[in-house]
A and B are shown apart, each in its own frame.
Chain A
């Protein structure tokens, strides 16, 4: 986010004149809609908004928004965004990346952008597969994923994007999924966070990894499989009949039953978005034994990179004259008389 006065727009103002070229039924359509719905609600100005992407299906995103957009090269969007933001901190920068782009080829840049805390929103569309190159397994693919490059099933363990983000020093970590009605709220929270806001968005690749998230995203039974986190509220799910509590013997989280709505008695934890230890546990919760933790997992701002750089530059420049002639003549000089 940045500090500018909100302006009034409608969804139409954010739709570019370009034909959207994703596969019919792709989860990206839903994410695009959610973003286009969110931008007017947060008072964003298309002229001050920049979407920066890398390479992959997700990275076509900027073409479909009527703001500024930069479709860069594979994995490097965070680096381009850093230059944009340092050159003009007034710009509201959104990064669009995928599990291959942001966790594999561009993992290094993702880490450093988060560590530095550049003020921007990073939407990582995680479909656990390489879509645009036709279905190879990705760094987030589950163990045993069959793909053209892993005909016997993948043997390397997947990366967890939110755990990676926290480990890199991220001060905002959230999760959502493409068709979730809560996605705009997650995006709004990310935008409201001053600093690097990391959002993992599970996205259904209907061609190469169809319904891989159905186990928790399917509407039927969702209440038992989704834990939507809200700051200051108890971690309840399954129609408030279950909750998350601390297993004090093992220093881990556990699922507890809540009887008659008495979550305090069951020891259910109240979510605190500034609790970093809790965030670490939440992003690591194994799905299956636990519901999928969704929503804003962690949100505890720190000074942003660009404001620190700009403040320091100003301090170093203070009282110094930008006189090029004097600079050129600096050091030990001598004069040759005519």
Chain B
């Protein structure tokens, strides 16, 4: 989906017969207006229409922030088109604003000439005051650089659902379906899948289903009957050219969950998942809780520490232990990660990063846990780290994390972030048989002359996995330093030196089993390499593609294996005059690269809780090559 670079971020022209190749639409409203649901359903409809897409759900930390407030605005942006899409789009072409606060917070990013669809029924004196507007912006000409289409969606919705006898509050809740109906008309979409979905969702309350369907149809008809005065024309975006096969949409949280299930199957193990609710990681626990038939046990622990410790206990008893959290929770798990490193038990730790430190920005994205992942524990505590670059990529990365964990008897951290976790993209459904299994063999007999040697290492420096309960192999393990081979309690100076070295060598050795770093886009060597990791993949890919289309000598290198790094990465980077590292933190991967390779990596940083725009990276590339 995300290979090949096409610069097709063209603005919608809104003229008959001139369909753009990509359009960015942002739905914005009160956090109670159902914008995420509207966006999600529009996404599905887009996918079913065969367009490529990327989404960016952006919502406040409050569940139901006070109505009409600026901080209570929830938005959902989707970029879709008939060409390859890597990001949710820099600036929207269309903004749907359900109230004054939604308009105020979102209109500055709308493209000049873009279209505003506003529910004038919500632009009341009180709502205008809450949004800190002195004058109604729909009437004072302040929106003149955009096209404005304001009509009373609230009243139209109430009218359309009148026959169903709903209360005013319930009736108004159908507003999002009315709006969605209009959007489906604008982009020439089939309403049937949505109608089927509504019938299913409200199966227990057919009146609500009918009311929502009526609102959806009314919104659609409103566009169809050209009541909107000829300002907006129907747009049809052709399907993207994709490899043949079966597709679905997937969010990062879904892909991680599926990847973990696949990873456990490939290892031939039941999975134990210990988690504690935290935004934006909880969805993984929710997803896995529904998959018991795959040998998954989920455990909602009393806290983050219990979540990881229970997973360690399960690994000790022979299951694949997995835990998941976000930054603050990962910090709490730190000591237990050390225990898994020290006892050398397999464990997968998923970190859906969010803005930090402390509580930080619970619902906003950031990549600022890289130091925590690579270095964040007491003692010399090396641990492999894998980072997913997109929602779909999270599937393979989760499998990779499972593989490293069981093959090297080590905890592994899988990094995603709030953007990847929540965002959706089309995904070509993989065939599970395409993945090479990595079945686990537990020690079954004594591996020493007359006793079991739980810390006897193989050629890769890996100890055997001994399932507690195996007859004849009783032994004791713990977080305290231990003797070579026997694992007996021993903290003599020479022992600690030898075991620290052994743990480091083992984790360093993971690099031998991973693919060499490839140039993601461009050439090996040249004037500038843009090196990234994680969810900056999309904007970097598009920006480098655009710069190359302009003839600039720039290449993209996107790294999946953050620790240990691919063995060839240092040499590869030395082939470029300059190295630029865009990150949603203050320069963490940059520091690692400088430390590992003495390369003059230059940071490009953004920590606003929003992903990079393509333009920001493009400008930085142009700056470096000026």
Q: Is the CB of B272 within 8 A of A335?
A: no
Residue in chain B with minimal CB distance to A321: B293
Q: Is A48 an interface residue (CB 8 A)?
A: yes
| In the complex, per-residue mask of B468-492: 1 if CB is within 8 Å of any chain A CB, else 0 | 1111111111111000000011000
A253-B181 Cα distance, complex, nearest whole Å? 73
| In the complex, per-residue mask of B392-433: 1 if CB is within 8 Å of any chain A CB, else 0 | 000000000000000000000000000000000000011111
Q: Is the CB of A332 within 8 A of B310?
A: no
Task: Contacts A48-B469, A327-B294, A328-B430 given; indicate if A84 touches B317 (C-beta within 8 A).
Answer: yes
A318 to chain B, nearest CB (A): 8
A315 to chain B, nearest CB (A): 9
- Count: A-B pairs, CB below 8 Å: 200
A81-100 CB contacts (< 8 Å) to partner B:
81-88, 90-91
Inter-chain contacts of A321 with B (CB < 8 A): 293
B288-330 CB contacts (< 8 Å) to partner A:
291-295, 297, 299, 301-303, 305-307, 309-319, 321
Task: Contacts A82-B306, A324-B262 given; indicate if A332 touches B193 (C-beta within 8 A).
Answer: yes
Residue in chain B with minimal CB distance to A109: B306
Q: Which of B48, B193, B295, B317 contacts A322 (CB 8 A)?
A: B295
Q: Is A338 an interface residue (CB 8 A)?
A: yes
Q: Is the CB of B310 within 8 A of A83?
A: yes
Q: Is the CB of B339 within 8 A of A73?
A: yes
Stretch in contact with the other chain, from A62-70, A169-177, A256-264, A269-277: A62-70
Q: Which of B193, B258, B476 contacts A63 (CB 8 A)?
A: B476
Inter-chain contacts of B306 with A (CB < 8 A): 76, 78-79, 82, 108-109, 112
Q: Is B243 an interface residue (CB 8 A)?
A: yes
Inter-chain contacts of B311 with A (CB < 8 A): 83
A69-B429 Cα distance, complex, nearest whole Å? 44
Q: Is the CB of B248 within 8 A of A336?
A: no
B445 to chain A, nearest CB (A): 13
Q: Is the CB of B303 within 8 A of A108?
A: yes
A63-B294 Cα distance, complex, nearest whole Å? 36
Q: Is A35 an interface residue (CB 8 A)?
A: no
Q: Is the CB of A91 within 8 A of B317?
A: yes
Q: Is the CB of A86 within 8 A of B294?
A: no
Inter-chain contacts of B317 with A (CB < 8 A): 83-84, 87-88, 91
Q: Is the CB of B474 within 8 A of A327?
A: no
A108-B304 Cα distance, complex, nearest whole Å? 12
Q: Is the CB of A73 within 8 A of B243?
A: no
Q: Is A329 an interface residue (CB 8 A)?
A: yes
Inter-chain contacts of A73 with B (CB < 8 A): 309, 335-336, 338-339, 479
B85 to chain A, nearest CB (A): 15
Q: Is the CB of B318 within 8 A of A68?
A: no
Q: Is A317 an interface residue (CB 8 A)?
A: yes
B188 to chain A, nearest CB (A): 16
Q: Is the CB of A76 within 8 A of B305?
A: yes
Q: Is A16 an interface residue (CB 8 A)?
A: yes
Q: Is the CB of A72 within 8 A of B48?
A: no
A302 to chain B, nearest CB (A): 19
Q: Is the CB of B303 within 8 A of A87?
A: no
Q: Which of B297, B471, B489 contacts A87 (CB 8 A)?
A: B297
A93 to chain B, nearest CB (A): 9
Inter-chain contacts of A325 with B (CB < 8 A): 431-433
Q: Is the CB of A68 within 8 A of B261?
A: no
A232 to chain B, nearest CB (A): 36
Q: Is the CB of B293 within 8 A of A317?
A: yes
A71-B481 Cα distance, complex, nearest whole Å? 11
Q: Is the CB of B292 within 8 A of A80?
A: no
Q: Is B50 an interface residue (CB 8 A)?
A: yes
Task: Contacts A83-B309, A88-B317, A91-B317 given; indicate if A334 touches B247 (C-beta within 8 A).
Answer: yes
A109-B245 Cα distance, complex, nearest whole Å? 49
Residue in chain A with minimal CB distance to B312: A80
Q: Is A18 an interface residue (CB 8 A)?
A: yes
Q: Is A155 an interface residue (CB 8 A)?
A: no
Q: Is A251 an interface residue (CB 8 A)?
A: no
A58 to chain B, nearest CB (A): 14
Q: Is B244 an interface residue (CB 8 A)?
A: yes
Inter-chain contacts of A16 with B (CB < 8 A): 476
Task: Contacts A71-B478, A109-B302 given; indicate if A87 touches B292 (C-beta within 8 A).
Answer: no
Q: Which of A73, A87, A109, A309 has the most CB of B within 10 A?
A: A87
Q: Is A220 an interface residue (CB 8 A)?
A: no
Inter-chain contacts of B302 with A (CB < 8 A): 79, 108-109, 111-112
Inter-chain contacts of B313 with A (CB < 8 A): 52, 70, 79-87
Task: Contacts A18-B489, A73-B479, A335-B247 given; indicate if A324 touches B432 (C-beta within 8 A).
Answer: yes
Q: Is the CB of A70 within 8 A of B478?
A: yes
Task: Contacts A327-B258, A327-B291 given; indicate if A67 touches B474 (C-beta within 8 A).
Answer: yes
A288 to chain B, nearest CB (A): 36
A68-B248 Cα distance, complex, nearest whole Å? 46
Residue in chain A with minimal CB distance to B489: A63
Inter-chain contacts of B274 with A (CB < 8 A): 83
Inter-chain contacts of A74 with B (CB < 8 A): 335
Q: Is A337 an interface residue (CB 8 A)?
A: yes
Q: Is A267 an interface residue (CB 8 A)?
A: no
Q: Is the CB of B335 within 8 A of A87?
A: no
A107-135 CB contacts (< 8 Å) to partner B:
108-109, 111-112
Q: Which of B48, B261, B316, B479 contacts A324 (CB 8 A)?
A: B261
Query: Top 7 closest A-B pairs, CB basis?
Result: A83-B313, A71-B478, A338-B244, A79-B309, A83-B310, A69-B476, A87-B317
Give B residues with C-beta under 8 Å from A: 44, 47-48, 50, 193, 239, 242-249, 258, 261-262, 265, 270, 272, 274, 291-295, 297, 299, 301-303, 305-307, 309-319, 321, 335-336, 338-339, 343, 429-433, 467-480, 488-489
Give 29 pairs: A residue, B residue, CB < 8 Å, sorted on A: A47-B469, A52-B313, A63-B476, A68-B468, A68-B474, A69-B478, A73-B309, A73-B336, A73-B479, A76-B306, A83-B274, A83-B310, A83-B316, A87-B313, A87-B314, A88-B318, A90-B469, A109-B309, A112-B301, A324-B294, A328-B429, A329-B248, A330-B248, A332-B248, A334-B48, A334-B246, A335-B246, A336-B247, A337-B244
What 18 new A-B contacts, CB under 8 Å, besides A109-B306, A336-B239, A336-B244?
A68-B469, A71-B476, A73-B338, A80-B312, A82-B301, A83-B310, A84-B313, A86-B297, A109-B302, A111-B302, A112-B306, A313-B292, A314-B292, A317-B292, A320-B293, A328-B429, A329-B248, A335-B246
